[in-house]
Chain A
Amino acid sequence: MGAYILRRALFLPILLFLGSILVFTVLRIAPGDPTDRVLGINSTPAEKQKLRDALGLNDPLPVQYLRWMGGMITFRLGDSIVSDQPIGEQIITRLKVTLQIWIMSVIMGTLFGISFGILSAVFRDTWLDYIVRFMAVVFLSVPAFFSLTLLIIIPSILWNYVPPLQYVSPFKDFWTNMRIFFPPVFILSLEGSAGFMRLTRSVCLEVLSQDYIRTARAKGLREFWVIMRHMFRNAMIPVVTVIGAWIPGIIAGSVILEQVMSLAGMGQYIYQGVLAKDYPVVQSITLYIGALVIFANLLVDISYAYFDPRIRYR
């Protein structure tokens, strides 16, 4: 167990390094000079040269890479080349919005996925099962930007309702905050939970056909306790691992959500960075998000190994 965690943890810096090289090279092979964007087409070569010097774009690539890495670790990320605002400051203000979306989606999505999955397994081949399964396929097919658009236009046409436009911290005014965040995150996590629900269902069905479930029933245990004690615990082990695989989906979902609901979060920041060819913003945030996903996956793997003693550590 200890050796397994150690090996995974040692592999982590290698993955991060490869990821950073990937991000750095892909963004540097972009054709066109980043300074054109800032100075306009009518700028003189001398002006361009000055800006390139200021941004450090004239240094050799390895030097640029190392400077970027140093900044990533010490959180001195420099300024956005489009808006001149420090990237670090922007990340801190925007992270509040995005973190709330992520946390709420994970909690709600897990809850929906697991409960609907169990319901549909326990009531297998009844109308309830069919409805849940059909809804899961529908949720997988309707893109988030469509359902979120409907979420805005339907209440606005029917009741002239518009959600609060200004971001409010949940610690200041919880209800106003929920009016902004709850409806879209609810829709997003319903859609995200579809894959989850299908997996929970098939795992539960497999567990339900085991001998120990029959034994539990045979000794007269109530069906409710058979499900809660014997099925639930065993079924949860494989389900937990999917949370890790689901995190990239949540991140992509929050980019769309922030765009549709016009929330100033990290997703919107990186999206606007791509539109404006703001390479310092794009490279830093991409790598931070990549690192976050890698850490989250490591945690999930370790917890998986911890909860299930049957797993052999490779």
Chain B
Amino acid sequence: MSVVEAPLQAAVYTKKERSWLQTGLLLARKYPLGTFGLACLLFVTFVAVFAPLLTPYSPIDNNFSVLQPPSAAHPLGTDRGGRDVLSRVMYGGRTSLTIGAVVSVVGAICATMLGMIAGYFQRWPDYIIQRGAELLGMMPNLLILFMFVFAFGPGFNTLVVAMVLPNAFGASRVIRGVILSAKQGQYVEAARSIGAGHWRVMMRHLLPNVMDLVIVGITIRIGGVILAEASLSFLGLGIPPPEPSWGADMGGQARMYFRNCPWLALAPGTALSLTVLGVSLFGDALRDHLDPRLRREGH
């Protein structure tokens, strides 16, 4: 007996010994690109959150020092309203990250609910949700955004609703698939037989099956959501003007000055690209770590 137990105990012991820091370092060595992505993301979040402490300028108030080239006082120059470009880029991160986080988290919650309802109850709820997913999947997302902006006017809430809808229905398909097979498990039957209701079975017994999928889904979608907000703001249909937004700063009136003041385009564009790059690298690593099955999705 003791001979058999010894190596088992040893194995358990070494596993416990690893601190969270060591685990983190191990993961960082395994996914160098993902670590780089996470670092980018943390940096952008830090700058966006502490923007008021990091810069003395207001991102919105106009003054007379218009279109100045980069200097010591304004490292990235000023725009046509005399506003410090670096400050606008820092505050712009708030817009992008908030939209990205809100849409993907709300979208993931809706997708999970839809997917679980469709997979668990099947029959007509499944039919309706599936057809809804098909319909929204056929519409180019930009056109859905256009329609909602047409109907409700540009703004934060319009953007969130118009992006959550197709995201939620689209992502619900994967979750539905997992639930369909998970509900065949004996533990579901056991839970039902001792009197657990549908809600309890879904929340306590089925939800853990899809949790990894949901987390991966959130991260791989953030990049696309940030890009969509930026594209729409670029067209002047997203976040309304005085508010700093990386996309809006590259569209509209500002475009007339790009040839002579290229920093106006380079600063927000680079910030946007780096943020999305960081999110997608981190999302890829997270997906590989949590759910290698998803690799084939291609994107």
Q: Which residues of A contact B (CB under 8 A)?
A: 15, 18-19, 22-23, 26-27, 29-31, 137-138, 140-146, 149-150, 152-153, 156-157, 195-196, 198-199, 202-203, 242, 247-249, 251-252, 255-256, 259, 270-271, 274-275, 277, 279, 282, 286, 289-290, 293-294, 297
Contact = CB atoms under 8 A, between A and B. Distances in A.
Contacts of A146: 250, 265, 269, 272-273
Contact of A198 (B140, B152, B227, B298): B298
A211 B298 CA distance: 24
A152 B257 CA distance: 12
B139 A137 contact: no
A30 B151 contact: yes
A141 B139 contact: no
A290 B143 contact: yes
A270 to B, nearest CB: 7
Given A143-B276, A157-B259, 5 more contacts: A141-B223, A248-B139, A256-B234, A274-B146, A279-B150
A152 B255 CA distance: 11
A300 B191 CA distance: 44
Given A149-B265, A153-B259, A279-B150, A141 B234 contact: no
A195 B227 CA distance: 15
A293 B138 CA distance: 6
A19 B138 contact: yes
A143 B248 CA distance: 13
A290 B247 contact: no
Interface string B121-161: 00000000001001100111111001111111000000000
7 contacts: A19-B138, A23-B147, A141-B223, A149-B255, A248-B141, A248-B142, A255-B235
Contacts of A198: 298-299
A282 B295 contact: no
B262 A157 contact: yes
B82 interface: no
A246 B139 CA distance: 12
B230 interface: yes
Contact of B276 (A23, A141, A157, A203): A141
B296 interface: yes
Most buried by B among A30, A146, A277: A146
Interface string B250-268: 1100010011001001000
Interface of B: 131, 134-135, 138-143, 146-152, 223, 227, 230-231, 234-237, 247, 250-251, 255, 258-259, 262, 265, 269, 272-274, 276-277, 280-281, 284, 295-296, 298-299
B140 A15 contact: no
B135 A141 contact: no
B281 A137 contact: yes
B227 A143 contact: yes
B277 A141 contact: yes
A140 B280 contact: yes
B61 to A, nearest CB: 26
A145 B250 contact: yes
Given A137-B277, A275-B237, A19 B149 contact: no
Contact of B273 (A27, A31, A141, A202): A141
B299 A195 contact: yes
Contacts of A23: 147
Nearest to A270: B146
B150 A282 contact: yes
Most buried by B among A19, A140, A279, A294: A140
Nearest to A278: B150
Given A141-B280, A143-B227, A153 B262 contact: yes
A12 to B, nearest CB: 11
Contact of A259 (B147, B235, B284): B235
Given A141-B276, A146-B250, A248-B141, A286 B269 contact: no
Nearest to A248: B140
B140 A252 contact: yes
Given A27-B150, A274-B146, A252 B138 contact: no
B245 to A, nearest CB: 13
Contacts of A145: 230-231, 234, 247, 250-251
**9 interchain residue pairs of minimum CB distance:** A248-B140, A199-B298, A252-B142, A146-B269, A141-B277, A141-B276, A195-B299, A30-B151, A142-B273
A29 B295 CA distance: 41
A257 to B, nearest CB: 11
B147 A26 contact: yes
A127 to B, nearest CB: 15
A271 B235 contact: yes
A22 B234 CA distance: 26
B142 A255 contact: yes
Given A137-B277, A146-B272, A149-B258, A202 B295 contact: yes
Contacts of A256: 231, 234-235
Given A153-B258, A153-B262, A29 B151 contact: yes
